[in-house]
Structure 1
Amino acid sequence: MKAGIYYGVSNVAVEDRAVPEVGDKDVLVKVRRAGICGSDTGSWLHGGLRYGVFSGMVEGHEMVGEVAKMGPSASSDFHVGDIVWVDPSKARRVGKLAADVCGTFAEYVLVEDARQDYNLFLLDKNIDLDAAALIEPLAVGTQGALALDPKPDENVVVLGAGTIGLCAAAGLVNHGIKNVVVVDRNEWKLEIARKIGAQTVNSREENVADRLCDIFGEFVDTETHMEHIYPELGAALQKIMDSGIANVGAKRPNVQLYVDCAGAQELLQMAFKLCVNNTRYSIVSVYSDPVPVPGSIFMSQAKVCGSAGYTLPVIHEVIDHITNERTPIKDIITAKYSLDEFPKAMEHAAVKSYKNIKVLLDMDR
């Protein structure tokens, strides 16, 4: 079979590799579409060490395909020709350690000890294959968006309009959250966010705090009465605010949840400084450097939660989302290439000047 192989920074190739051998309970899946993820482009740009991708490995973990071959004792839930999604974190017996090298940039991928609703999920036979290739990133974004249980009438801000940020926004809209805003610097990305159903703030052109106040209104602190402040306390309070320990009396938007998908330290710190009583922060982005946390987080009793991967309920919600086209999430697909064009596809996905969000490998080409 043909396979996309990682060798190092800016160095990938298409080579012939042996089709994986199918064990007793395994299922061999013919890949129909495969998505290029940020971890794949990160490896191409910076090296694979932090992503667990090493020279000579078959890359890829986002895909949709069809059952091609089954082991003698494989689950009777599956049949040759079924359209399926593979959970890359469980495709191999070793688990999530091999998630980023599940091997979906190839004509075939092996699912070891395949089980329905565990590592292999049956899809509608008429599902849009391009959209179905987005199940994995949409699940990551939806998991992050829902990790701190947003309510329908709460005000939610998504930081970043890349693949995961747009997936988080779509997950919120699909979940019935009415007031969603996406913040990003690129207007062409924000246009997709608006199509998905979110309002937007362009951080390059607008003051984010002021614009969020325009959209959601200012937070009213019912426990603080600034009209009764006396001069000595006012002077002391100003010093406290200047130090960053607290933001009492500052103009802040009425936002209950921030979902960080941008990976921009400056933007996250700004969101931290805008915290109000019990603001929640779901951190989906990966930071290689420590992020300073202001004292206002402590004073407001904010909740900060990391989010990685996805749960079974989220997977099912996402499959329903895509099957029934509940949002136009497919609009994040900006380019498609054949497997033979894998090196070109990786470059176009990784280099910002090409203006791509999600690049797919179409194995049917």
Structure 2
Amino acid sequence: MRSVHVTGQGTADWVEVDLPPTGPRDVLLRIRACGICGSDALYTRVGGIPPRQGATPLGHEPAAEVVEVGEETSGVEVGDHVVVDTMAFADGLLGSGGAQGALTELVLVRDHVPGRQLRVIPKDIPWHVAALNEPMAVAHHAVNRSGAAPGQRAVVFGAGPIGLGATLSLQAKGVEHVVVVDVQERRLEVAREIGADAVINSAEEDVIARLLALHGAATDALGHPGRAGSDVYIDAAGAPAVLRTALAAAKHRAVLTIPAVHAAPVDIDFGALLATEIDIRTSMGYPTEIFEVTDAIIENSEKYAKIVSHTFPADQALEALELAATPGGADKVVVVFD
């Protein structure tokens, strides 16, 4: 069968691979959709991930259909639609340096454990929406890390897929008011469509002044004014200006959670932050959230569908990778298999 692999530094292509036979405890999946992540562009740019340098299978945001089940396997049946925990494979991470990737026709789940690698979903959920499960789990983990609670006010920097997913998760947590900040008006429009309470175009507006107007004024621990009343900040953009703005706005004991990947070090004046007692937390992956977010996608599939900006047929997967790697070219790209 064919599979998309990194084939060298800066190059990816379709390659022919063999599929091992399905064992008694295995489940065979036919991939129906796979999202493109920013890390796919990174893996391609650097030439793969050792020990598969130059031969890394790509794709770790799949939705799939069960096509074969080993005789000792339970919990799924042929024909089931499933989302996948790509960090729970016996042969390594799916698509992030493991032996298999999800930009392919078939994926073998070795040593299937019921409820561990797969979650059955309703068959009326569109494949391109189901493929959001993995990145939305990343966003949901960031919200869990933030400790956001009902009645609080939150600010999300970055209206890409993770920022939009965090917005939906914050709303599900009962957060009272969610503001989304970005520099692209088309992204902010999507944030409005999924239900953000307010948006700020940071290329045109004073973010802190708007937050003061939206969330009220607050102080640091010493009573110094000029701080916004926002309780939670989420950096889903990965830009130094985001951290500078959030830290300048943060009130006493606000929480800043960072799921974004920052490409370079950022200077922070911790002396100036002492009186805020701000809690800075990083967030990576989805230790428990991979199937926690599934119910939200099932219940609000129309809202989640708005996060997908482009879909491509499988035979255009290489073009999908190229578009997703182009700055400003797309927000969320999903490859859909027939």
Would you call these one fold, judging by a TM-score over 0.5? yes
In the alignment, residue 293 of structure 1 is paired with which amino acid? I
Q: Aligned partners of 1:106 and 1:97: how far apart in 2?
A: 10
Q: Aligned partners of 1:173 and 1:101: how far apart in 2?
A: 37
In the alignment, residue 14 of structure 2 is paired with which amino acid? V
Aligned pair 1:338/2:313, yes or no?
yes
- Computed over aligned residues only, the root mean square deviation of the Cα atoms, in angstroms, reads 2.3
Match in the other structure for 1:192: 190
In the alignment, residue 162 of structure 2 is paired with which amino acid? I
Q: Aligned partners of 1:213 and 1:339: how far apart in 2?
A: 47
Match in the other structure for 1:245: none
Q: Aligned partners of 1:53 and 1:296: how far apart in 2?
A: 45
> Structure 1 unaligned runs (5+)?
225-247
Match of 1:278, SS state, is: coil
In the alignment, residue 296 of structure 1 is paired with which amino acid? A
Contact 1:43 1:51 in 2 (8 A): no
The structure with the largest helix share of the pair is 1
In the alignment, residue 68 of structure 2 is paired with which amino acid? K
> Structure 2 unaligned runs (5+)?
none
| Aligned pairs for 1:167-186 within 5 A | 167-186=165-184
Q: Deviations over 1:74-125 (max 9, x none)?
A: 2x11111111111111123445895677510000112121122211111123
- Could you tell me the percent identity over the aligned residues? 32
Q: Aligned partners of 1:330 and 1:319: how far apart in 2?
A: 13
Match in the other structure for 2:332: 358
In the alignment, residue 208 of structure 1 is paired with which amino acid? V
Match in the other structure for 1:104: 102
Q: Aligned partners of 1:362 and 1:96: how far apart in 2?
A: 18
Match in the other structure for 2:279: 303
Match in the other structure for 1:230: none
Contact 1:275 1:296 in 2 (8 A): no
Match in the other structure for 2:248: 273
Query: Aligned pairs, how many?
Result: 336
| Aligned pairs for 1:147-296 within 5 A | 147-198=145-196, 199-220=198-219, 224=223, 248-249=224-225, 251-294=226-269, 295-296=271-272
Match in the other structure for 2:88: 90
Contact 1:155 1:179 in 2 (8 A): yes
Match of 1:18, SS state, is: coil
Q: Aligned partners of 1:141 and 1:197: how far apart in 2?
A: 16
Match in the other structure for 2:115: 117
Contact 2:48 2:55 in 1 (8 A): no
Q: Deviations over 1:172-218 (max 9, x none)?
A: 12332221111110000010011111121101000111111111111
Shift of 1:164: 0.9
Shift of 1:66: 0.9
Q: Deviations over 1:36-94 (max 9, x none)?
A: 011012334x32567987312220100110111223322x1111111111111112344
Match in the other structure for 1:37: 37
Structure-2 change in CA distance of 1:15 and 1:50 (3 Å)? closer
Contact 1:20 1:108 in 2 (8 A): no
Structure-2 change in CA distance of 1:9 and 1:336 (3 Å)? farther
Q: Aligned partners of 1:296 and 1:20: how far apart in 2?
A: 58
Contact 1:61 1:101 in 2 (8 A): no
Shift of 1:148: 2.3
Match of 1:23, SS state, is: coil
Q: Deviations over 1:308-362 (max 9, x none)?
A: 11243x33431111111266121111111122111111111111353x1111111
Contact 2:60 2:96 in 1 (8 A): no
Q: Deviations over 1:134-175 (max 9, x none)?
A: 001111111102212211211111111111111111211233
Q: Aligned partners of 1:69 and 1:292: how far apart in 2?
A: 53
Contact 2:31 2:62 in 1 (8 A): yes
Match in the other structure for 1:17: 17
Contact 1:31 1:109 in 2 (8 A): yes
Match of 1:315, SS state, is: coil
Larger Rg: 1
Q: Aligned partners of 1:101 and 1:196: how far apart in 2?
A: 36
